[in-house]
Amino acid sequence: MKFSPVKAWLFGLFASLLLAGCASQPAQVAAPRVPEQVSNAEWAADMARFAAEDAVHPPPRGAVLFVGSSSIRLWKTLAEDFPGVAVINRGFGGSEIRDSTWYADRIVVPYKPRLIVFYAGDNDIANGRSPQQLHDDFLAFVRRVRRDLPSVPIAFVSCKPSPSRAHLLDAQREANALIRAEAAKQKRVVFIDVFTPMLDANGQPRAELFVGDRLHMNAAGYAIWRDAISPYLRSTPP
């Protein structure tokens, strides 16, 4: 079929506008693969909740970002424990290290924090990941953060010992050692040991630091974390 010059020009213009319109549409982001990329597809609901909270109460820039699993999420006294410090809590219960890596563009990068305090790994081991996998996942998190926030310090909180997971102590020790050694090689990355002060004289988790489920901490447990983390908050001025 042949078009007149005018019809051909109009057809070309329509095609160009159609292509431009398609290009302007936002790309569909594929859901992460489970378990290759994230441990649970349900974290998407937590991300939506965080976005809704940010829309209503925009978080401060240059704050200290606490991110990770339920030990972060349940830290209800976070602001009280670090008076005078702007803090953001982005813990989502049950998460693993790689989950925070995957969702860093939602719960890390946008806040442009002055310091990232990261706790995860406890669930990872309980769910069957090896100490070497934790090391590799930790390194992947650091590299992901460095891509967009190259100068922001990262403080990684060690796996904590708990009575309900006492059978995993050896794996936790190994993972902590691997991550501590890796952190020492990285610039602006520190390893914070909460594992040791949470053990009793026999090398077992101190039961008095935990609530009834023997997994999550009470105020005494969080006091140990507060004291361990405080020096790093003071060493990274606003």
Domain contains 38: yes
In this structure, the dihedral spanned by the alpha carbons of residues 17, 23, 24 and 30, taken in order and rounded to 10 degrees, is: 150
226: domain CATH number is 3.40.50.1110
Amino acid at 198: M
Q: Which domain holds residue 37?
A: 33-234
Domain contains 12: no
How far apart (Å, rounded) are the C-alpha atoms in residues 161 and 196?
8
Could you report the per-residue pLDDT of 72-129, keeping only the tens digit for each? Answer: 999 999 999 999 999 999 999 999 999 999 999 999 999 999 999 999 999 999 999 9
Show the tokens assigned to 58: 């925009």
Domain contains 22: no
Per-residue pLDDT at 213: 98
Average pLDDT of the residues in 175-194: 98
Domain contains 166: yes
- Total domains, the chain: 1
155 — phi, psi (to 5°)? -110, 110
Domain contains 79: yes
Per-residue pLDDT at 237: 62
